[in-house]
Amino acid sequence: MDNYEIITAPNPVLKQEARPVDKVDDAIRRQMDRMLTTMYDAPGIGLAANQVGLLNRVLVMDLVTTRSEEEKPSPIFMVNPQIIYESEQMSVIDEGCLSVPEHYAEIERPAIIRVKYWDYDGKEAEIEAGDLLSHCVQHEIDHLNGVLFVDYLSSLKRNMILKKLQKLKKANIL
């Protein structure tokens, strides 16, 4: 199974809203498998469909990045994820993104969320997420809505980052 190519900013597909999935079938499961290996190889802790050029509401995550022999991967697959609760308390975490390589920024988001979604088998599922997982889920759902973490920065900072990435693209480094 070949990996997908990860699309980097600036690219219009990263600014588009992904469509809801009708049902979780084998084609969607193949997409999730392929997104997961793409994410592991990158390596990253989350990947949304937009980042591989697909505009459906699918995302994969795994916070286990050490990949030591003892630590088993624990992938999370979400189809049509929906945030149904956000805490008033906020938290700040340094975020990065496979589509915005080599740039990081402190982003403030609700510290705890509840999210409803369809799992790998198409069953309805719900989890409460805090800390890094909370940020990760919100970051990935943002992707499905065409939003990047740099969109939370001042336009000055954002444009500087996007210009740098554009230059690397032109030089064929990305």
Would you say 28 or 97 has its CB closer to Ni ion? 97
CB of 143 to Ni ion, least distance (A): 6
The residue sitting closest to Ni ion, measured at its beta carbon, is: 97
CB of 139 to Ni ion, least distance (A): 5
Q: Applying CB under 5 A, does 59 fall inside the site for Ni ion? A: no
Contact 55, 19 (CB under 8 A): yes
**140 is annotated as an active-site residue:** yes
Nearest CA-CA partner of 4 in 31, 28, 25, 22 = 31
For Ni ion, what does the binding mask look like between residues 88 and 127, x meaning CB under 5 A? Answer: ---------x------------------------------
Cα→Cα distances 19→74, 83, 88, 135, 153, Å: 26, 16, 28, 22, 26
CB of 145 to Ni ion, least distance (A): 12
Would you say 21 or 47 has its CB closer to Ni ion? 47
Direct distance between the N- and C-terminal alpha carbons of the chain, in angstroms, rounded to an integer: 23
Would you say 5 or 25 has its CB closer to Ni ion? 5
Contact 49, 58 (CB under 8 A): yes
Nearest CA-CA partner of 82 in 140, 130, 13 = 140
Q: Which sequence positions are flagged as catalytic?
A: 140
Interface residues toward Ni ion, by CB under 5 A: 97
